[in-house]
Amino acid sequence: EKGGYEHFMLKEIHEQPRSIQDCFRGRLNLDEGWVGLGGIKDYEKQLTKAKRIIMVACGTSWHAALVGEYLFEDLTRIPVEVEYASEFRYRNPIINEDDIVIAISQSGETADTLAALDLAKSKGATILGICNVVGSSISRVTDAGSYTHAGPEIGVASTKAFTAQVTVLTLMALTIARKKGTIIESEFRKIITELDLIPNKVAKILEKADQLEEIAAAYKDASNALYLGRGNSFPVALEGALKLKEISYIHAEGYPAAEMKHGPIALIDEEMPVFVIATQGPSYEKVVSNIQEVKARKGKIIAVITEGDEQVKEMADHCIEIPDTDENLTPLLTTIPLQLISYYVAVMRGANVDQPRNLAKSVTVE
Ligand code: F6R
């Protein structure tokens, strides 16, 4: 049932070219130039008119929501608030009847997310879901929603569910943007063309498994790690850190790269691996200076870069090259090598990768 892989997590990481494709099957048509999500069709108009969208989730799904915030604000110009479900429900949040609350959950059973939705519903908001498990509690209580279609995720550490959540959020943002007229046709075409190429690009990154295993071997004995990114790579940094800590038990933190100098920089010494997402894009030069700040303090840099980048290669200790794509889609690629490195580190440390201590696949208690 592990399909020849040693662990479910490894199998699920390798399934991503397929699971991302399954996620947009029937929802994206390049020839005719459209995207659409059947499940939320009746709510499209309401979404285009929304003054605010609130996304609620926990853990990895909360990181997907943060990527969603960048996508929605950039493409649809609708203000988005991303909330930890557990915080949202207990702080007397302001919820209006014209708000749209989107819950993101792989299992569809997370107690806090479910309770946040109940609260939003009681205040009259429209509630939508992005779930992986068909027929789950969250998918049943929501007014409408879209499944991620990633297939069963058995490994406790979420991998393919995350990339599928980001894919659904991309499709949703594109659908609304087009209907609302906040995206020009050429840009829309460019993004859907690139989205269609993502599964092949993910497959190309997975071919780098040997290199990623070598990087893991070099840092497997670290006691701390830092993950840095800016813009939509910041949530990828958070997700990279969560993946490492939950399965290898190495303490790791994700930070917006520019925030490093407001505290975490004090941690940097020659023992500290610093993973940096430094792909080409609007914040590239800024990230390059952040890398220089780390190097000046003898930290070790493992950089995820766009193929062909020479500048970062000269500074970093290790570089992972990934194919170029549209700026809005980079999280779908940059996440992949970080998942694999965490996996290999955990295996090398002898940890129980599929069932890390103290964790459960779905958290049905608050
Ligand atoms: C991390 C992980 C957890 C879940 C979180 C939410 O790898 O698996 O952080 O993401 O418990 O679970 P769902 O998405 O089922 O609501």
Nearest-CA residue for ligand 1 atom 4 is 59
Q: In angstroms, how far is CA 127 from the centroid of its own chain?
A: 21
Q: What percent of the chain has pLDDT over 90?
A: 95
Provide the annotated active-site residues: 361
Q: How far is the CA of 359 from the centre of ligand 1 (A)?
A: 10
Helix (H) or strand (E) holding 35: strand 34-35
pLDDT surpasses 90 at 1: no
CA distance 54 to 20: 24
Q: Given this model, what pLDDT does residue 276 score? A: 98
Q: If you measure from the C-alpha of residue 280 to the centroid of ligand 1, how many angstroms do you get, rounded to a whole number?
A: 30
Give pLDDT, residue 357: 87
Q: Which atom of ligand 1 is the closest one to the Cα of 161?
A: 14
CB atoms within 10 A of CB 215: 22
State the Cα–Cα distance between residues 227 and 210, nearest whole angstrom.
21
pLDDT at 364: 85
For a mutational test of ligand 1's pocket, the pick from 63, 104, 158, 361, i.e. the residue with the most ligand atoms closer than 8 A to its C-beta, is 158
Pocket of ligand 1 (CB under 6 A): 58-61, 105-107, 110, 113, 156-158, 242, 246, 362-363
Average confidence (pLDDT) over 82-94: 93
Note the pLDDT of residue 363.
86
- Model pLDDT for residues 280-293, shown as the tens digit of each residue: 999 999 999 999 99
Residue 361 — pLDDT band, cuts 50, 70, 90?
Answer: confident
Report the alpha-carbon distance of residue 35 to residue 176 in Å, rounded: 10
Number of DSSP helices (H) and strands (E) in the chain, helices first: 14, 12
Distance 59 CA to ligand 1 centre (A): 5
**How far from chain centre, in Å, is Cα 300?**
24
Pocket test for ligand 1, best of 107, 109, 113 (most atoms within 8 A of CB): 107
| Mean pLDDT for the stretch of residues 162-176 | 98
Contacting residues for 137 by C-beta, under 8 A, at least 6 apart: 108, 109, 114
Q: What is the pLDDT of residues 223-244, one digit of tens each?
A: 999 999 999 999 999 999 999 9
Residue 247 has pLDDT above 90, yes or no: yes
What's the pTM value of the predicted model, to 2 decimals? 0.98
Q: Which pair of tokens denotes residue 191?
A: 């993004």
Mutate to test the pocket of ligand 1, among 110, 154, 355 (most ligand atoms within 8 A of CB): 110
Q: Once rounded to an integer, what is the mean pLDDT over residues 265-282?
A: 95
From the CA of 60, give the closest atom in ligand 1: 10
Cβ density class 343-356: b for 16+ within 10 Å, e for less = bbbbbeeebebbbb
Taking residues 85-101, what's their average pLDDT?
A: 93
pLDDT of residue 137: 98
CA–centroid distance, 334 to ligand 1, in Å, is 19
User: What ipTM is given for this predicted complex?
Assistant: 0.99
Q: How confident is the model at residue 362 (pLDDT cuts 50, 70, 90)?
A: confident
d(CA 180, CA 176): 6
Pick 244 or 92 by higher pLDDT: 244
Q: Distance between CA atoms of 173 and 179, rounded to whole angstroms?
A: 10
Question: What would the pLDDT profile of 22-64 be if each residue is shown by its tens digit?
Answer: 999 999 999 999 999 999 999 999 999 999 999 999 999 999 9
274 phi, psi to nearest 5 deg:
-120, 115
| pLDDT (tens digit per residue) in 189-200 | 999 999 999 999
For residue 190, give the H/E element and its range.
Answer: helix 185-206
pLDDT at 360: 85
Q: Which residue has the higher pLDDT, 251 or 363?
A: 251
What is the rounded average pLDDT for all residues in the chain?
A: 97
Query: What is the CA(160)–ligand 1 centre distance, in A?
Result: 12
**Ligand 1, closest atom to CA 165?**
14
Model confidence at 341: pLDDT above 90: yes
Nearest CA, atom 5, ligand 1: 59
Strands of 217-306, DSSP E: 224-229, 251-256, 273-277, 300-306
Residue 297: pLDDT band with limits 50, 70, 90: very high
**Greatest alpha-carbon span in the chain:** 56
Nearest residue CA, atom 3 of ligand 1?
59
**Closest protein CA for atom 7 of ligand 1:** 157
What would the mean pLDDT of 345-354 be, rounded to a whole number? 96
